[in-house]
Amino acid sequence: MKRLLPLPLLALAAPHADAQATNPPLPPCTHEDRAAQVDPAGDGRFTVLDTVMRLPEDFVPSGLVPLREAGFADDRLVRDVIIPDLTALREAAERDAIALEIFSAYRSYAYQAETFAYWVNVQGEEAARATSARPGHSEHQLGTAIDVGTAGGPAPWDLDDWALTPEGAWMQTNAWRYGFVLSYPRDSRDVTCYAYEPWHWRWVGQEMAATIREAGVPPRVYLWHARTTMALEDPHDP
Ligand SMILES: [Zn+2]
């Protein structure tokens, strides 16, 4: 298990000169195709994906299993590493009379390419970039990101703010306990590279989710600095 490094990251929440001097700068959200780094934990939790970093075309995560294994009536795929936490999340929600539905799970590179090409065709390249990840840039290719909505309800992106529904509010309060973090929080586009998505939850495990919550920064900010710091301290950690 990779040890986590919360203390230098807590400083990120307050823009002190010292913190900025000791932390490497977060890359701006330019549209590039730089290779995402190999994940030392082996389950995708450390992989930074944004408008800059992308997974290769042939990256397919290991251990893809249907969501049915977490108790959802759904055969879309996620990585098996998230099944225990996702099952616990679903069960905890049900105990609180909250019924969740997964609206999107693993997305292959080919699927992303097809989707992006569709939107480019409909809207043009610039508009498509604002609303859709270019192929390889989606966290959904990791198999550990899910789009969550209300069971039987409209798609969460069809609402003004799904976080204001009972189900969305439950996720905001509780998802971190089960290892899930919100990749694109409100008013964070300058550092997350994407607009607010209250439905898009990325699994990073319970320990890291608690650390990110405590740090009070979006996951991209945490992951970028964690990776950089770890690479300097411990380049051979498996
Ligand atoms: Zn998503």
pLDDT, tens digit (0-9, with 9 covering 90-100), for 119-154: 999 999 988 887 789 999 999 999 999 999 999 999
Instruction: Report the separation in Å between the CA atom of 145 and the middle of ligand 1, taken as the mean of its atom positions.
Output: 7
How confident is the model at residue 215, as a pLDDT? 95
Q: Is the pLDDT of residue 53 over 50?
A: yes
Beta-strand runs (E) in 71-171: 77-79, 100-104, 145-150
Per-residue pLDDT band for 37 (boundaries 50, 70, 90) equals confident
In 3D, which of 167, 154, 113, 164 has the Cα closest to residue 136?
A: 113
In angstroms, rounded to a whole number, what is the distance separating the alpha carbons of residues 80 and 129? 30
Per-residue pLDDT band for 41 (boundaries 50, 70, 90) equals confident
Proportion of the chain above pLDDT 90, given as a percent: 75
Instruction: Report the separation in Å between the CA atom of 20 and the middle of ligand 1, taken as the mean of its atom positions.
Output: 30
Q: Are 192 and 220 contacting, i.e. CB atoms less than 8 angstroms apart?
A: yes
Instruction: Report the separation in Å between the CA atom of 3 and the middle of ligand 1, taken as the mean of its atom positions.
Output: 27
pLDDT digits (tens, 9 = 90+) for 219-232: 999 998 887 776 54
Both tokens of 168, joined, read: 């969305």
Per-residue pLDDT band for 22 (boundaries 50, 70, 90) equals low
Q: Is the pLDDT of residue 32 over 60?
A: yes
Instruction: Report the separation in Å between the CA atom of 205 and the middle of ligand 1, taken as the mean of its atom positions.
Output: 17
pLDDT digits (tens, 9 = 90+) for 174-228: 999 999 999 999 999 999 999 999 999 999 999 999 999 999 999 999 998 887 7
In angstroms, rounded to a whole number, what is the distance separating the alpha carbons of residues 41 and 52? 21
110: β partners: none
Instruction: Report the separation in Å between the CA atom of 103 and the middle of ligand 1, taken as the mean of its atom positions.
Output: 9
Q: Is the pLDDT of residue 13 over 90?
A: no
How confident is the model at residue 230, as a pLDDT? 66
Instruction: Report the separation in Å between the CA atom of 17 and the middle of ligand 1, taken as the mean of its atom positions.
Output: 34
What are the backbone dihedrals phi and psi of residue 148, each rounded to the nearest 5 degrees, phi first?
Answer: -110, 140
Per-residue pLDDT band for 12 (boundaries 50, 70, 90) equals very low
Q: Which amino acid is at 153?
A: G
Instruction: Report the separation in Å between the CA atom of 198 and the middle of ligand 1, taken as the mean of its atom positions.
Output: 9
First to last CA, the chain: 9
Q: Are 212 and 219 contacting, i.e. CB atoms less than 8 angstroms apart?
A: yes
Q: Are 64 and 185 contacting, i.e. CB atoms less than 8 angstroms apart?
A: no
54: β partners: 35
How confident is the model at residue 18, as a pLDDT? 42
pLDDT digits (tens, 9 = 90+) for 56-69: 999 999 999 999 99
Q: Please name the CATH architecture into which domain 6-233 falls.
A: 2-Layer Sandwich (3.30)
In 3D, which of 194, 94, 110, 114 has the Cα closest to residue 147?
A: 194
Q: Are 31 and 236 contacting, i.e. CB atoms less than 8 angstroms apart?
A: no
Instruction: Report the separation in Å between the CA atom of 25 and the middle of ligand 1, taken as the mean of its atom positions.
Output: 26
Q: Are 206 and 177 contacting, i.e. CB atoms less than 8 angstroms apart?
A: yes
Instruction: Report the separation in Å between the CA atom of 49 and the middle of ligand 1, taken as the mean of its atom positions.
Output: 12
How confident is the model at residue 125, as a pLDDT? 92
How confident is the model at residue 134, as a pLDDT? 94
- Angle of CA points 32, 34, 36, to nearest 5°: 130
